[in-house]
Amino acid sequence: MAGRRAGSLRLLVVVVLMVTAWAGIGFRLFQLQIVKAAELKELGVEQRLKVRELAPERGSIFDRSGRELAVTIEGATVGADTTQVVRPEDTAALLAGTLRVDEQTVLDKLTGDRRWVTIARQVAPDLGDEVRRLDIPGIYIYPEPKRVYPEGSLAAQVLGFVDPDGKGLEGLEYRYNDELSGIPGELRVETDLSGRVIPQGQYEVRPAIPGSDLVTTIDRDIQYIAERECAAAVQSSEAERCTAVVLDPRTGEVLALAVQPGFDPNDHTAAPAERWVDWAVLGTYEPGSTQKLITVSAALEEHVVNWNTTFEVPDQIEVVEGACSGGEDYGCYRDFNRHDPATWSVKDIVTKSSNVGTILIQQELGRRALAEYIAKFGLGSKTGVDAPGEAEGIINLDPTCGPCFSSAAIGYSVSVTPLQMAAAYGAVANDGVWVQPHLVSEIVDGSGTRAPIEPATRQVISADTAQLMRFLLRNVVEEGTGHNAAVPGYSVGGKTGTARKNVPGVGYTDDFIVSFIGMAPIENPRIIVAVVVDSPQIGDTGGTVAAPVFSRIAEDTLHHLGVPPDAP
């Protein structure tokens, strides 16, 4: 009896346990299949769903006529699965010979502890084809976008370059990286555990939006002319550097911006980093006598002098008491060529580039007006050109500094960029209207919509003053220090500049920075050409070194633009 009751009790316990277990299983199934069905379904999809970013095509950069300066092509990247490489030494030798890379570096990669290694990124497609034909076990070739510069070193400092992932690092590539890069797309696809696409599974594509194209103001042919002549000047004068800017004074368009020596952006690491610098925009220097354009323009505009106002001009002037007698240059200014005291007009002072005469004009003008016009002409502030890292320059016009205003009048005590000075001369060429220089004329998006660039403008001096200054600048070339800047068949005006080089932390050295900035044709200027030569070892004045470079650039540019010669 007791045994039967014990058996019944065990059976009851088993039944209760089984019912409880099935109830638990049922409850769990209810939770999974009903309550959490949607959540688990989504989780399952997420585990199967693979998301891949689709890189957009980077926009191209063109010159003003639509000729390609920077484009993206499909390059080839070579990689290796080291577990599949059979003979590493032979493989390294074959790849090094084909790809023109270091054999030991390749061997180190193939014998390292990483399974997948990259041998060479973004090589030319034909090199990728050569490697593919070798049919080496474990070596794979896959496409990867590659940025190329069809014109090689032409306009390298303007264009800049990108990193291997296509991100702009210098020049326009950096300044307009967001516009050029476009917007990445996305691919969403369901795959099985082996990574194979599941038929009828989710497959969504959001296409990438291509980057916008840039149409620059650069004229490829004028850029070539400027670089050719700058390179020749560096060689003939044994200079450290030559910078040239060609500007349309009516529109502010930079037709050429040359810096020599240059580099090839297709292989920028082959050149020292200082060659990557756009010295026309980032480099500052004391302009010397080219600054006299601003001093004399201000005096004419303020009617404190006219072109025929005369001064008694000695060959030296003392603006700090005792400076000249004490043997110190601080506060004592001299003309480049010694001369007896002479009666010179403003025209004579500009033609002869007299430092002393210009300081006498500045003294009539006054300190406040000089400072105002230096600012009006754009010195000491960025032009706003669309290039990265533009320098402002430095204007040292401390009222407590005895000689600073006299120094500024003749191009010392101020530091400027070549582009600032080109724009200042552009204002005189453009009837007194300063126009903001720029490198990009319009941005064209993937749909073909064009967004033109509108430069800022401001009236700096009157049209009458500008016309009178052009007359004075013409005389500099025809009768004065700028005679080497003459262009056959065209009337030219401009100004020479010679300044001792001031090195930060060192002071003034025995080297010079020489320049010539001018315009042509003088009656209706179509171009401004600014030439700055750093540390020439053969020749030491703007008239002997920079003026001939101006002449050659201006002549070929005027011919290229189809500007007719002056009427007889």
Average pLDDT, the chain: 89
Which residue, 275, 281, 280, 279, is CA-closest to 153? 275
Q: Which of 438-452, 463-477, 484-498 has the lowest mean pLDDT?
A: 438-452
Catalytic residue list contains 462: no
Over 70: is that where the pLDDT of 41 sits? Answer: no
pLDDT tens track for 485-533: 999 999 999 999 999 998 888 888 999 999 999 999 999 999 999 999 9
Task: Report the distance separating Cα 541 and Cα 549, nearest Å.
Answer: 13
Q: How confident is the model at residue 535 (pLDDT cuts 50, 70, 90)?
A: very high
Over 90: is that where the pLDDT of 17 sits? Answer: no
Over 80: is that where the pLDDT of 536 sits? Answer: yes
Residues forming beta bridges with residue 513, ordered by sequence position: 499, 534
The residue-averaged pLDDT of 89-111 equals 91
The residue-averaged pLDDT of 530-544 equals 96
Q: Give 203's contacts (C-beta < 8 A, 6+ positions apart).
A: 188, 189, 190, 197
Q: How confident is the model at residue 49 (pLDDT cuts 50, 70, 90)?
A: low
Determine the pLDDT at residue 447. Answer: 78
The residue-averaged pLDDT of 179-186 equals 85
Q: What single-letter amino acid sits at 263?
A: F
Q: Which residue has the higher pLDDT, 208 or 422?
A: 422
Q: Which two tokens stand for residue 68?
A: 């390609």
Q: Which two tokens stand for residue 408?
A: 């500024």
Q: What single-letter amino acid sits at 413?
A: S
Domains of the chain: which residue ranges?
A: 58-216, 220-265+281-439+454-561
Q: How confident is the model at residue 184 (pLDDT cuts 50, 70, 90)?
A: confident
Report how far apart the first and last C-alpha atoms of the chain are (Å, whole number): 144
Residues 311, 344 contacting (CB under 8 angstroms): yes
Task: Please identify, in words, the CATH class of the domain defined by 58-216.
Answer: alpha beta
Q: Give 214's contacts (C-beta < 8 A, 6+ positions apart).
A: 59, 60, 61, 62, 172, 176, 179, 180, 440, 443, 444
Over 60: is that where the pLDDT of 47 sits? Answer: no
Catalytic residue selected from 60, 153, 289, 413: 289
Q: How confident is the model at residue 255 (pLDDT cuts 50, 70, 90)?
A: very high
- Please report where in the chains the tokens 């840039």 appear, as a residue: 214
Q: Which two tokens stand for residue 451?
A: 């967004």
Determine the pLDDT at residue 40. Answer: 45
Determine the pLDDT at residue 36. Answer: 57
CB atoms inside a 10 Å sphere around CB 198 = 13
pLDDT tens track for 191-249: 665 556 566 565 566 777 889 999 999 999 999 999 999 999 999 999 999 999 999 99
Task: Report the distance separating Cα 292 and Cα 404, nearest Å.
Answer: 15
Determine the pLDDT at residue 352. Answer: 95
Task: Please identify, in words, the CATH class of the domain defined by 220-265+281-439+454-561.
Answer: alpha beta
Residues 82, 138 contacting (CB under 8 angstroms): yes
Q: Which of 8-22, 337-351, 538-552 has the lowest mean pLDDT?
A: 8-22
Task: Report the distance separating Cα 80 and Cα 92, nearest Å.
Answer: 11
The residue-averaged pLDDT of 59-67 equals 97
Task: Report the distance separating Cα 498 and Cα 511, nearest Å.
Answer: 10
The residue-averaged pLDDT of 459-469 equals 98
- Give how far the C-alpha of residue 392 lies from the chain's centroid of Cα atoms, to the nearest Å: 15
- Give how far the C-alpha of residue 422 lies from the chain's centroid of Cα atoms, to the nearest Å: 17
- Give how far the C-alpha of residue 203 lies from the chain's centroid of Cα atoms, to the nearest Å: 43
Q: Which residue has the higher pLDDT, 158 or 330?
A: 158
- Please report where in the chains the tokens 């039967």 appear, as a residue: 4
- Please report where in the chains the tokens 């620059």 appear, as a residue: 216
- Please report where in the chains the tokens 């920079």 appear, as a residue: 546
Element at 32 (helix H, strand E): none
CB atoms inside a 10 Å sphere around CB 535 = 17
Backbone angles phi, psi at 36, to 5 degrees: -105, 15
Give the pTM. 0.85
Task: Report the distance separating Cα 377 and Cα 294, nearest Å.
Answer: 7
What percent of the chain is predicted at pLDDT more than 90? 67
The b/e string for 437-467 (b: 16+ C-beta within 10 A; e otherwise) is bbbbbbbbbbeeeeeebebeeeebbeeebbe
Q: Which of 367-376, 441-450, 517-526, 541-550 has the lowest mean pLDDT?
A: 441-450
Residues 309, 515 contacting (CB under 8 angstroms): no
Element at 147 (helix H, strand E): strand 139-148
Task: Report the distance separating Cα 316 and Cα 410, nearest Å.
Answer: 13
Residues forming beta bridges with residue 74, ordered by sequence position: 145
Determine the pLDDT at residue 270. Answer: 94
Over 90: is that where the pLDDT of 300 sits? Answer: yes
